[in-house]
Amino acid sequence: MIEKNLEELKKVYQETKMPDYLIYNGWADLKFKLPNQQNNFFRNLVTKGLVFASICLLVSAGLIKSAQAAKPGDLLFPIKDFTQNVKAKITGNYQEIIQDRAQDVIDLSSKSQDKLNEAIRVYKQTVKDSQDNTKDSEKSQELKNTIEHQNEEIQKIENQDRNNSGHTNEDQQNVVQGVKTSTEQKNLLDNQKHKDQEGD
Amino acid sequence: MLHFALFCVTYYRLVKYCPMDEIENLTKLAQRGDKNAFGAIYNLFYKKIYRYCMYNLNSQEQALDITQETFLKAWKSMPSFSQTSTGTMQAYLFKIAKNLIIDSSRKKKTESLENYQNLPMESNFEENFDTKSDIAKLKSAINTLDEKEKQIIILHYFEELSGSEIAKIVSIREGALRVRTHRILKKLKEKLGENS
């Protein structure tokens, strides 16, 4: 019964009278109101671009933030290394990155041997790069001295290391001690410099 | 050989001039900003959209406005139209119309009852129902259903849209739609006292 009534109602529904306006002027009037699709297309493209750029920015910021805790040999370490290098190149201050690498060596001295070796390699590479980059800079004389001092320490310990057969924990401890000493010396020099400036 | 050639020609014509294929081509052109292609889409669907609005709103003036508004909105969002996410062009238009009808009904509710009673009845439904009391009762019963159920009945029984299209319009899963349609029919039967 209901099915039959639904069929009847469907007929009434489908026989709905169309107003003349819609038949004769509906499209003509609407056509004038339609905005230019090209503009919409570009607006849409710009919106999508902005959304994509914002997502990329957020992801990059998150990655950089997470990478700050990475140590040599970690997956995110290259990101940390890259951002610190960029920062050092822009500001011309290489002390921070060298100190950070030295700190990595100290932190990893009690961890796995592979990671410590990697930390030492990265440290030496950073020192070398910093020396190359500050070769012609007048301002960075102090930094050069620090780097050279730290480099000498490493070189000395490495030579001792080569004379012995293979790497031992003792060798690594020497390297770590060398880095520690040079970092402490640098910190002492910094403190002395600050005191002198305050005295002046 | 001749039969095979005839079959190929017929098949090609069927495929080439199949309405769905034609609508897809028109949609692609409209997405690139072709107003004439959109005009062809308008001519294909404006009657369906108008009668759908008319049935829901019971006012010729409002149905006209919402029909035009539906196509205007569809044109504006044409660049983001995608058959996979929004369904067919027909489903897309019905969905826009449905949302506009709901918005309009909400506004209508805020108007005073007094103004309502003074409104002239512009629908041809009521006149027809006076003589056909069973159909009038059925229409009243449909009007007592909730908004989603009412739309399912209209789109399924009166517009004869496919299950996937209705599912997209009323935003439910196709599987759930079948169950729901069955339940609504049962509910209508109960309302009309057919079960007793």
Asked if residue B60 lies in contact with residue B122, where contact means CB atoms within 8 angstroms, the answer is: yes
In one-letter notation, the amino acid at residue B80 is S
Query: Which pLDDT score is estimated for B119?
Result: 44
Query: Which pLDDT score is estimated for B90?
Result: 93
Contacts of B139 in chain A (CB under 8 A): 9
Round to whole Å and give the CA distance between B193 and A5: 14
Report the mean per-residue pLDDT for chain A: 77
Round to whole Å and give the CA distance between A141 and A129: 15
pLDDT digits (tens, 9 = 90+) for B179-194: 999 999 999 988 888 6
Mutation site for B-interface testing, chosen from A4, A30, A40 by largest number of B Cβ within 10 Å: A30
Question: What residue of A is the nearest CA neighbor of B48?
Answer: A14
3-state secondary structure of A36: coil
Contact B135/A5, CB-based, under 8 Å?
Answer: yes
Contacts of B188 in chain A (CB under 8 A): 2
pLDDT digits (tens, 9 = 90+) for A13-58: 999 999 999 999 999 999 999 988 665 667 778 888 999 999 999 9
Which of A10, A19, A36 faces B157 most closely, judged by CB atoms?
A10
Mutation site for A-interface testing, chosen from B158, B182, B185, B188 by largest number of A Cβ within 10 Å: B158
Mean pLDDT value of segment A87-112: 80
ipTM of the complex: 0.76
To the nearest 10 degrees (0 to 180), the angle between helices A37-67 and A77-91 is: 100
Which of B60, B80, B138 faces A5 most closely, judged by CB atoms?
B138
Mutation site for B-interface testing, chosen from A14, A25, A27, A29 by largest number of B Cβ within 10 Å: A27
Asked if residue B86 lies in contact with residue B92, where contact means CB atoms within 8 angstroms, the answer is: yes
Q: What are phi and psi of A125, to 5 degrees?
A: -60, -45
Burial of A54 (0-12, 13-18, 19+ CB in 10 A): exposed
The model's pTM: 0.55
Largest interatomic CA distance in chain B: 75
What's the CA dihedral at B153, B155, B159, B162 to 10 degrees?
Answer: -120
Round to whole Å and give the CA distance between B109 and B182: 30
**DSSP character string of A133-150:** HTTT-STTHHHHHHHHHH
Query: Which pLDDT score is estimated for A107?
Result: 80
